[in-house]
A and B are shown apart, each in its own frame.
Chain A
Amino acid sequence: MVRRTMVEWFVWVQVIIAVLAGTAAIIVGFAGVKPNDYTLGATLLVEAMLLVQLVMAIIAPFVGNVATGSALEFWIYLVSAILIPPAAVMWGLIERNRWSSVVLGVACLSIAVMVYRMSQIWFVQLA
């Protein structure tokens, strides 16, 4: 059996965490909460999981788990995704108001969508 190293369960855990973190940050942001340890920490957790994906994506082809779709497209998504949470966290540290919390949420939700797209490229390429 071929080992799948863009690990499917990890993708789902990551998508769920990013959606929860994003939704929560948007809700508390609209409620007037400034970026705090929880919303900033959750965004950093999403970033940490992206870095895990990065390491796994480097290792994966060597253990026989090759992307079914375009590797280049996958990497464009991964690199773009990795840039987003740090930018949002910087924003949240510099500008301490409720809208920065919403921006953190937007960043996390974007990551959820991008990771989902990456998993599609990796696992199910129909073309």
Chain B
Amino acid sequence: MTSKDSSTAAGIGRVLIAVYAVMALGATARSLFQIATKFNEAPVAYLLSALAGVVYIVATVALIRAGQRWFMVAVVAIVFELVGVLTVGTLSLVDAVLFPADTVWSSFGAGYLFIPLALPVLGLFWLYRVHKSQESR
């Protein structure tokens, strides 16, 4: 690993960043569309979707940037994402009116091939590995 590169962006971390970037684009664009056209149908869910989009953007940037602070930002963003997908996923099964099926975290991200559920787990696993390899140096 070169010293200039952020260690979270090295190797397979590159791929993680690419997936985060696509999710950031997809979730943000879709939630903006939903807020613009049918906000009243499910305001809570669509606002949470927009928030999810922002969290994906933050995670993407934090993984690219180097340094301890950005590492912590990445941890917080990805933990938030995991809590979000589990909470909203559960709520969407319990209360389909408050959380309709077409938001990014509904039904644990089923509409996005469960990538929203897998991504934070993989992300945290990756951050843990980077952290360990830094400690051992």
Chain A interface (Cβ < 8 Å from any Cβ of B): 70, 72-73, 76, 80, 83-84, 88, 91, 95, 99-100, 102-103, 106-107, 110, 113-114
Chain B residues within CB distance 8 Å of chain A: 11-12, 14-15, 18-19, 22, 25-26, 29-30, 33, 37, 113
Given contacts A73-B37, A106-B18, A106-B19, 4 further A-B contacts (CB under 8 A): A70-B37, A72-B33, A102-B18, A103-B15
What DSSP secondary structure best describes chain B's contact surface? helix
Q: Name the residue on A nearest B113 (C-beta).
A: A113
Given contacts A80-B25, A84-B22, A106-B22, contact A73 B33 (CB under 8 A): yes
Bound complex: CA A103 to CA B21 (Å): 11
Which one of B12, B25, B33 lies within 8 Å of A99 (CB-CB)? B12
Cα–Cα distance between A88 and B25 once the two chains are bound (Å)? 14
Are A99 and B37 touching (Cβ within 8 A)?
Answer: no
CA A95 – CA B17 in complex, angstroms?
A: 14
A-B contact pairs, 24 of them (CB 8 A): A70-B37, A72-B37, A73-B30, A73-B37, A76-B29, A76-B30, A76-B33, A80-B29, A83-B25, A84-B25, A91-B18, A99-B11, A99-B12, A99-B15, A100-B14, A102-B14, A102-B15, A102-B18, A103-B14, A103-B18, A106-B15, A106-B19, A110-B26, A113-B113
A residues less than 8 Å from B30 (CB atoms): 73, 76
Q: How far is the CA of A48 from the CA of B14 in the complex (A)?
A: 25
Collect the chain A residues with CB atoms within 8 Å of residue B113's CB: 113
Q: Most chain-A CB neighbours within 10 Å: which of B18, B25, B29, B30?
A: B18
In the complex, what residues of A have CB within 8 A of residue B33's CB? 70, 72-73, 76
